[in-house]
Structure formats: C-alpha cells, structure tokens
Amino acid sequence: MTLGRPIMRLAEADSTNQVAAELADQGAPEGSTVLAEVQTAGSGRLGRRWASPRGGLWLTVILRPPAERLDAWPTLTMVGGVAVAETVADLLAGEVGEGLEGSLDVRIKWPNDVLLNRRKVAGLLGQARLGGPGVEPAVLLGVGLNLNVDRASLPPEIRDTATSLSAATGHRFDADAALESLTERLDRWYGTWLREGFGPARGRCLALSATVGRSVQAIGPKTAITGEALDILGDGALLIRSADGRETTVRAADVSLRSG
C-alpha cells in the first residue's frame, strides 16, 4: 500500500475534498490524492471555511478501508493527526537550528487540529462516501498544513491563533519533501490502523495531546460542557469531567482550551 499515488496536482480547486469525492465515486483506487496550490472554498469541521492561500499543503487522500473496519472510520481523522504532527516535528528537526528546535512544541488538539507553540498549524477533515454499484465505500482524509503561508495572507480573525512553519521558524520549507514525508507517515499509520485498530494511534494522540489534562469547553449540536478533559477513548471520543463530578463522552463538538 502506498498513499499519495496516483496524485492529481491542481493550480486551484474549490476544495480538494470535493474533487476527491468525485474521483472516489468514479472508483479511483485507494491512495489516490488530490493536491491544490490554492483552495477557494476549503472546508473544515462543522461547516467552517478553511483558509487555503498559496504556500500551504492542501490535499485529500482517498482511503478504502475494508468493510469490517468501516464503522471505525471517524478515528482516521485522529490517525491522520498523528501523522501530520510527526511530519511537522520531522520537518522542524531537519530544517531549523538546534537552539530554535528546542523552543518549538508540536501538539494535537482533539479531535483534528495540530498546534505549533499553541497556534494552529494544521487541520484535518474526514468524510465518508457510501459508494454505489461497483464502487466500494471510501473515506476522504483532507489535510491542510500551513507550510510556507504568510500569516498576513490569513483572514484577520485567525491571525492571532494560527501560524505556519515558516512564520514560526523564519525558514522556508520544501513542499515536495514535506509532501513525501507526510504521505509516508500517513501510509505507515493507516497500515497500523488496518492491522491493529485505533489503539497505537490513540497512544500517540495521548502522548501529544494538548487537550487531555486541560480545562476545556466543548460546544456541539447537543452538547455544552465545561470541565477537565480526562481521556481519549477507544472509539476516539473525548471524556470530560465537569465540576460536579459528572463525566460526559463527547464525539462531535467544538473544543476550546481554557486557561487555568
């Protein structure tokens, strides 16, 4: 298995997930990847717009897990988050000076953000496709990584909470090398997920978590809870304990980290 091949490179796309969805519905093989230099209508979780100016890695990989693993597909977003976080750490270790490297902290914010020094540097979006006659179901794993993005090109409302590898380090990063590193990590972790389930990636999520052990606020369609994030469960859900001692399992929510 080799993710990232074949690859479709586009100068511009509304959304790589949308292009990948069309390819998946036409039977594109597992590993097929759509990469765009710019997205004009990139999307994130809960219907949010994802800013995708020139200088980032904006891509979607088509996965086709076997039928017996399909119910666990939501955990693939976190599996991808581990791959992205490790890729960012690899790129930083390879490109920046020893003194600077020690001041760069890479973390995963549940469920789909990668943070660099507490600012968002990457996000992921997983979407399932049901398939059809002669076409197997698919999972689209979208990745947005702010590689060489100028923070001034980001929308004003996120400039204080987002960053890029180049903005954080003062170094430019080779996009092709970053893409190769990312697809290799995705391939490795996806293979582990297929063989062993979410457990190994869950362990890495916990080790890199910016969320577990912190005071958080989770707001979702049917959820509004403030408390301490206790754990990431085996199905990828977040376990939160509120001030009254009640424990709540959260599977879909916007989670913010609170100070204190």
pLDDT digits (tens, 9 = 90+) for 121-165: 999 999 999 988 889 999 999 999 999 999 888 888 888 899 999
Q: Is the pLDDT of residue 185 over 50?
A: yes
The CA distance from 123 to 117, in Å, is 15
The secondary structure element, H or E, covering residue 221 is: none
- Residue 143, phi then psi, degrees to nearest 5: -130, 130
E-assigned strands of 50-145?
57-63, 106-109, 113-116, 119-129, 138-145
Omega prior to 111 cis, within 30 of 0: yes
Question: Please, what sign has the CA dihedral across residues 102, 146, 46, 18?
Answer: negative
What average pLDDT does the structure give for the chain? 91
Tokens, residue 11: 């100068």
Taken as a whole, the chain contains a residue count of: 260
pTM of the model: 0.93
The CA distance from 121 to 104, in Å, is 12
For tokens 């968002």, what's the residue?
120
- Residue 184, phi then psi, degrees to nearest 5: -65, -45
